[in-house]
Amino acid sequence: MKNYISVAAILTLLTALAVWISLLTASGKAGGDIIFDRTTADFPVTFSHEDHVGINNLKCKACHPEPFKMQKTDILVYMSDFKKNKTCGLCHKGGRGFAPENNCTLCHVVKSEDTLMYKGMIQFSHYNHVVDGELQCDACHDHIFEPRKTSVSSGLTENELLRDFAGGYFCGACHDGVNLFELVGFFE
């Protein structure tokens, strides 16, 4: 009889602990969501404590104090660090978490209103290309466009930009009239 009471007490304590952790996570006291939007607000990364602590049962010390301090600071997270198995890459490139190489939108949120403009002439929608067009980010980044650049080529005139499109540069790398509709003559 004594063993049954001990087992019941342990189960009760474990249940209470699980409820307490889930309440902390749900209330945000276990960290809540952290949005990293550093130099570009186009594709912020949302880190969910609920996914990491609540669902995947990670302990706080898995990330704190290294690679992240416990208190909220302006943490800069760069893809170059990720690729070196630092910050998020410590787990997600290091083999412990999912590898997001070919699915950037697992972490980066692409919003429908995100549109880049060039001199009022060209509108580029990441949503149309990434979500609707199902392109991976590396289809354009790093070999056609550098991430975090605010402008394609702000120093070029419209004619120079169209010349570059015709030469297969920038958007013209895909929009060449063969793979996708041609941009040269599109704005005339």
Q: How many residues does the chain have?
A: 188
Under 8 Å between Cβ of 33 and 14: no
For residue 159, what is the enclosing H or E element? Answer: helix 158-166
Q: Copy the structure tokens of residue 32.
A: 């809540």
Q: Copy the structure tokens of residue 60.
A: 């706080």
Q: In the predicted model, is pLDDT for residue 25 greater than 60?
A: no
Per-residue pLDDT reduced to its tens digit, 39-73: 455 677 888 888 888 777 888 888 886 767 666 66
Q: To the nearest whole number, what is the mean pLDDT of the chain?
A: 73
Q: What whole-number distance in Å separates Cα of residue 37 and Cα of residue 75?
A: 10
Q: What is the pLDDT of residue 27?
A: 47
Under 8 Å between Cβ of 128 and 112: no
- Identify any residues that bridge with 141 across adjacent strands, giving them in sequence order: 145
Per-residue pLDDT reduced to its tens digit, 150-161: 455 556 777 777
Q: What is the pLDDT of residue 22?
A: 59
In this prediction, residues 123-152 reach a mean pLDDT of: 73
Q: What is the pLDDT of residue 147?
A: 62
Q: What is the dihedral of CA 35, 39, 44, 50, to 10 degrees?
A: -20
Q: Specify the pTM.
A: 0.51
In this prediction, residues 162-180 reach a mean pLDDT of: 82
Per-residue pLDDT reduced to its tens digit, 72-103: 666 677 777 888 888 888 888 767 788 777 67
Q: What is the pLDDT of residue 135?
A: 83
In this prediction, residues 93-118 reach a mean pLDDT of: 73
